[in-house]
């Protein structure tokens, strides 16, 4: 039996863009599917008293310069040459994250994540504007009317709140956050460790 691997994500995190790009390779090499759980990073920060690293470390000399350089290097190493910082950062992602709940229910979460990730982190779009969201969804071949209508539903809003609270209960304090069984993995820098843990649990289960 394969281990259950859960990925807590919010489009507002540039490292979630990176994680989403690296996940297909991890799934292919391990033969294990990673389940995406949409959460609201702003909600996680409030519930855990955390902040985005760029803000948390803004007064630390050298830290942000290092993070930018390390990010550029990481992108280059992994051939992610379409990434660029969004000029509207930080982004209010509540609408596009509610949209992810809709997309999961309607069974097109992966194409939806592809489209929204690219809109924010490749095309530099202002994805807290409903008109911009609608145009990006249509350009990506998705049902913009359905999504923008359904994100108004109470059930959809409540599901995102529920996912966010549940994530914090599990121990999530930021994104990207992964669980391999109950082993937590935070950030882009330990994706290789996570991949090895997936294989370890998989081999243990089949042993």
76 is a contact residue toward its own copies (CB under 8 A): no
**Binders of its own copies among 151-170, rule CB under 8 A?**
168
What is the 8-class DSSP label of residue 93? -
Considering the complex, what minimum distance in angstroms separates the CB of residue 26 from its own copies? 15
Among 52, 54, 63, 140, binds its own copies (CB under 8 A): 63
173 is a contact residue toward its own copies (CB under 8 A): yes
Backbone angles phi, psi at 38, to 5 degrees: -70, 130
Three-state DSSP at 77 gives: helix
Instruction: Report angle CA 205, 193, 107 to the nearest 5 degrees.
Output: 70
Among 4, 6, 47, 52, binds its own copies (CB under 8 A): 47
Considering the complex, what minimum distance in angstroms separates the CB of residue 50 from its own copies? 5
Instruction: Choose between 82 and 200: whose C-beta lies nearer to its own copies.
Output: 200
Q: For residue 94, give both structure tokens.
A: 């509540």
For residues 146 and 112, the answer to whether their CB atoms sit within 8 Å is no
88 is a contact residue toward its own copies (CB under 8 A): no
Q: For residue 163, give both structure tokens.
A: 């996912």
Q: Measuring CA to CA, which residue among 109, 103, 87 is closest to residue 33?
A: 109
Instruction: Choose between 57 and 153: whose C-beta lies nearer to its own copies.
Output: 57
Considering the complex, what minimum distance in angstroms separates the CB of residue 80 from its own copies? 15
C-alpha 100/C-alpha 46 separation (Å) is: 21
Instruction: Choose between 65 and 207: whose C-beta lies nearer to its own copies.
Output: 65
Using CA atoms of 118, 43, 46, 66 in order, give the dihedral in degrees to the nearest 10: -20
For residues 39 and 175, the answer to whether their CB atoms sit within 8 Å is yes
Considering the complex, what minimum distance in angstroms separates the CB of residue 77 from its own copies? 7
Considering the complex, what minimum distance in angstroms separates the CB of residue 41 from its own copies? 14
Sheet of strand 183-186: strand arrangement: 34-38, 5-9, 177-180, 183-186
Considering the complex, what minimum distance in angstroms separates the CB of residue 166 from its own copies? 13
Residues binding its own copies (CB under 8 A) = 47-50, 56-57, 59-63, 65-66, 69-70, 73-74, 77, 168, 171-173, 183-187, 189-190, 192-193, 196
């Amino acid at each position: 039996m394969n281990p259950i691997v859960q990925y807590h994500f919010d489009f507002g995190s540039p490292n979630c863009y990176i994680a989403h790009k690296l996940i297909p390779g991890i799934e292919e090499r391990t033969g294990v599917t990673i389940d995406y759980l949409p959460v609201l990073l702003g909600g996680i920060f409030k519930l855990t008293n955390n902040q985005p690293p760029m803000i948390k470390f803004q007064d630390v000399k050298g830290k942000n310069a290092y993070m930018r350089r390390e990010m550029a290097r990481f992108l280059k190493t992994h051939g992610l040459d379409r990434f660029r910082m969004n000029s509207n950062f930080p982004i209010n992602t509540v609408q596009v994250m509610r949209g992810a709940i809709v997309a999961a229910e309607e069974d097109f979460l992966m194409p939806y994540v592809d489209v929204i990730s690219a809109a924010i982190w490749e095309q530099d779009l202002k994805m807290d504007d409903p008109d911009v969201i609608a145009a990006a969804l249509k350009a990506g071949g998705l049902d913009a009317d359905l999504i923008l209508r359904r994100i108004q539903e109470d059930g959809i809003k409540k599901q995102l709140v529920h996912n966010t609270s549940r994530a914090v209960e599990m121990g999530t304090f930021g994104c990207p956050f992964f669980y391999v069984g109950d082993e937590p993995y935070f950030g882009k820098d330990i994706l290789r460790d996570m991949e090895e843990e997936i294989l370890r649990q998989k081999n243990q289960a089949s042993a």
